Structure 1
Amino acid sequence: MIDIIPVVSKKQRAEFIDFPHDLYIGDPNYVPELFMAQDDLLNPDKHPFYQHSTAQLFLAYRDNKIVGRIAAIWNTQHNAFNHVNEGQFGFFDCIDDQEVADALLNTAYAWVKEKGGNKIVGPINLSTNETCGLLIEGFDSPPVAMMTYNYPYYIDLIQNFGLQKQVDLLAYDIPTAKASDRSVLLMDKLEERLKRSGIHLRLINLKDFKNEAEKIKRVYNKAWDKNLGFVPMTDEEFAYIAKDLKMIVNPNYCIIAEKDNEIVGFAVGIPNINEILIKIKRGRLLPTGIFKLLFGRKKIKTLRVMMLGVLEEYRKMGIEACLYGRIIKNAKTYGIERGECSWMLEHNYMMNHAIEQINGELYKRYRIYEKEI
């Protein structure tokens, strides 16, 4: 018999966070999330998502043992912005058992239906501004920072429930040694042409991070507004994410394009801290994890380009190529061995082609599923 129990206590929330550590024990590609970060993300009293939306966590038990978890999500911002009436599911982890998976997914499905939703979409871990997507290709290496990972059998569990593909999210691998020099070689000429149009490139100014983040937020919310499933960040949500990113960001990989002192485009690359987190047992910083995190940062050899956006009226001017070119050049200079560009919508042909032009290779694919109610 399977019992589905709503998470209502701090102890249960800790068990919800810890379940994947036991599920993936022995998997060399599993990266534990930091417990403190996950606890804040799932705590309605701490994360700004819950100022406008809601989520309910559930645990599945069999013989008094946890065998699965799921979150049912109602994102009011998403529904209002995209003119839809749907709920999401996220944080789905489960043993290889269709009965358990069905019980979890049916619980989330019923919760969304009770909210009045006509569709359930996922996996989305709160919103598309957080981690999302089920890994369906590329199981032979660990995920990079802020990307998901799961067992291959999840695909059957999800699809056997009746969920169908909505869209795929792509991740490109770019080994620095193989990266095309084309963007770098053209960069100087392109930048000179951009300068004649009043557009200049520079590194982010971490000493003025608050103002920089505010300007970037305006571009972010405009540049992505036509992307499938996009949800504009509230001021509180953007400040929350910016605060976390500031702790790991390297200005050499955060490039800004400006015109008349206004940001018109930007690219954000972050060191792949998963190289360190994979060594931190059960995501606990104490007692020794904090030292691995602090002393391991300088040894990171991979980078994730997680955001690249240009305002619509400034596209096709070469800004995107210059942003990529700057990051590639700096990555080579500072000993980065490879980078990942992710995630890209499968139908974002212009950006995907730009990555392929610099010898980016599609090596992981993630999928968002949906089911009508």
Structure 2
Amino acid sequence: MSTAAPAAGQGLTVREIAAGESLKPFVNFAWTVNGRDPQWVPPLRMALEPVLDRKKHPFHQHADVAYFAAERGGRMVGRVAAVVNHEYNRFHGERTGTIGFFECLDDADAAGALLEACTDWLRARGMDRVMGPFNFSTNDEFSSPGVLIDGFDTPPTVMMSHNPPYYGRLFEAAGWTKAKDLLAYWIPSPAVPDRLSQGMERLARRMGATIRSVRMKDLKAEVARIQEVYNAAWSRNWGFVPMTEAEFEHLAKELKPVVDPDLCLIAEKPDGEPIGFLLALPDLNRAIRHLPDGRLFPFGVFKFLWHQRRIRTVRVLTLGMKPGYQHSGLGAALYTHGLRVASGKGYEAGEASWILEDNPEMCLAMDKLGASPYKRYRVFGRPL
């Protein structure tokens, strides 16, 4: 059953949403907060609702999740999820809880009460630290980790988040501090100088590596190859948690209808062993933003398809190399190959995100490609 507790501020209560209770008000509240922001891109309901469903999304197989709503006078003024990701804690040997799907009016009392409800819930489950927001983890396919703190004048690209400028202040007022900043780089043109492109191709050949597009007809095996690289490449990265086979299969299923196989690249050795991969997507937010209610059906799909054909921007989501190849230059070869393909397909600009602020190798590579950081996302944390 749901539980309610009085909170600071006149008429303010925070309650845990009961298992089995409809989450539609929880979902709809995003429109209350962001609906008038011209840069906000609404989530697709058909994508978000299954993520929250404990019976449908594989994340819930290894995590405990509680949803909370802050209400004032019977009206929702904030929402949040508290999460214990057992896979994360097993991998890192920690007792860290997280929060996610945070939305709140500019109301410090409501935000503080929501975050306090999360910390109480996490503390009761043995956690000694909390970080967030994550939706639900750094592997999330729904939106990026953190709170946007710089770059409010442009819309987010596909699978990146956007929020009101006051969110950072709400976390700070509740006693949370910076844990990590993530950067989004704008690539003004994917065109790569011929000399650089040819040099990268020669480097790949010298290393005996082949770069190819993903084979959609052999998708199950390709997903396994990418998962092998992914879980090896990021094993030492901040915030990383290995994706389970079920999560990877779910993500592949979600992306299959929209992925451009030419923009999903695998680097492999002569014996076929995968050693790196790059995933880029057309910036579908350029089409989704024309669906103000977040619904594809029954009529939104026609708007989506109309605008999808006109997308000229791309987001580079992921570039990963197995540990033995991470400083070999092959990652740069994979990246320039991807940009050259994107340019050849008519894409005019793009975003590379997200990149840890303290990843000097990637930040330097972005600088050399003429890209510049134009959005900053902050993950907050605090001890319990």
Q: Would the TM-score normalized by the shorter structure come out above 0.5?
A: yes
Question: Aligned to 2:268, which of 253, 258, 261?
Answer: 258
For 1:7, the equivalent position in structure 2 comes to: 17
**8 Å Cα contact 1:73-1:89 kept in structure 2:** yes
Unaligned stretches of 5+ in structure 1?
none
**1:237 maps onto 2:250 in alignment:** no
TM-aligned CA deviation for residue 167 of structure 1: 0.6
Secondary structure at the counterpart of residue 171 of structure 1: strand
TM-score (norm 1): 0.96
Q: Which of these residues, 146, 151, 157, is aligned with residue 170 of structure 2? A: 157
> In structure 2, what residue type is equivalent to 1:318?
G
Quick check: 1:180–1:357 contact (8 Å CA) kept in 2? no
Q: How far apart, CA to CA, are the structure 1 residues paired with 2:176 and 2:101?
A: 16
What is the distance in 2 between the residues matched to 1:347 and 1:303? 24
2:156 equivalent to 1:143: yes
Cα pair 1:281 1:289 within 8 Å, conserved: no
Q: Check conservation: 1:180, 1:358, Cα contact below 8 A.
A: no
Query: Does the CA contact (< 8 Å) of 2:191 and 2:339 recur in 1?
Result: no
Aligned to 2:187: 174
* 1:244 CA drift (Å): 0.9
CA contact (8 A) 1:205 1:212 kept: yes
Q: Which residue identity lines up with residue 51 of structure 2 in the other structure?
A: L
Which residue is equivalent to 2:79? 69
- Are 1:210 and 2:220 matched, yes or no? yes
Hey, what does 1:285 align to over in structure 2?
296
Equivalent AA in structure 2 for residue 89 of structure 1: I
Q: Residue 321 of structure 1 is aligned with which of 332, 349, 368?
A: 332
* 8 Å Cα contact 1:271-1:300 kept in structure 2: yes
User: Equivalent residues in 2 for 1:1-373 (5 A)?
Assistant: 1-8=11-18, 12-130=22-140, 131-176=144-189, 181-182=192-193, 184-259=194-269, 260-373=271-384
Residues 329-370 of structure 1 deviation map (CA, whole Å, 9 limit, x = unaligned): 122222212110000111111111111110011000001111
Q: Would the aligned equivalents of 1:119 and 1:372 in 2 still touch at CA under 8 Å?
A: yes
Q: Which moved more, 1:324-333 or 1:146-155?
A: 324-333
Q: Mark the CA change 1:51 to 1:369 in structure 2 (over 3 Å): closer, same or farther.
A: same
**Offset at 1:193?**
3.4
CA distance in 2 between counterparts of 1:263 and 1:156 reads 44
What are the superposed Cα offsets for residues 69-88 of structure 1, whole Å, 9 maximum, x if unpaired? 00000000001101110100
Residues 206-263 of structure 1, C-alpha deviation per residue, up to 9 Å, x if partnerless? 1111111110001000000111110000000010011111111112211211102111
Aligned to 2:7: none
Which residue of the partner structure matches residue 3 of structure 2? none
CA contact (8 A) 1:67 1:100 kept: yes
What amino acid sits opposite 1:317 in the alignment?
A: S
Query: Would you say the 8 A contact 1:253–1:327 is kept in 2?
Result: yes
Deviation at 1:185, TM superposition (A): 2.5
| Structure 1 residue 175 displacement after superposition | 1.2
| SS of alignment partner, residue 282 of structure 1 | coil
Structure 2 residue ranges without an equivalent (≥5)? 1-10
Q: 1:16-59 CA deviation, whole Å, 9 max, x = no partner?
A: 01101122122101111111111100000000011111111111
Identical amino acids, percent of aligned pairs:
40
Once residues 121 and 229 of structure 1 are traced to their aligned partners in structure 2, the CA distance between those partners, rounded to angstroms, is 10
Residue deviations 1:266-301 (CA, integer Å, cap 9, x gap) = 110011111111111221112211222233322111
Distance 1:53 1:300 in 2: 36
Number of residue pairs the alignment of both structures matches: 370
Moved more, 113-122 or 309-318: 309-318
Output the amino acid matched with 1:219. Answer: V
Counterpart secondary structure, 1:336: coil
Give me the whole-angstrom Cα distance separating, in 2, the residues matched to 1:294 and 1:86. 42
Whether the aligned pair in 2 keeps the contact of 1:57 and 1:71 (CA below 8 Å) is yes
Distance (whole Å) between structure 1 residues aligned to residue 363 and residue 60 of structure 2: 33
**Which stretch shifts more, 110-119 or 320-329?**
320-329
Question: TM-score, with normalisation over the residues of structure 2?
Answer: 0.93
Deviation, 1:121, is 0.5
SS of the residue 1:283 aligns to: coil
Paired residues of 2:200 and 2:336 also in contact (CA < 8 A) = no
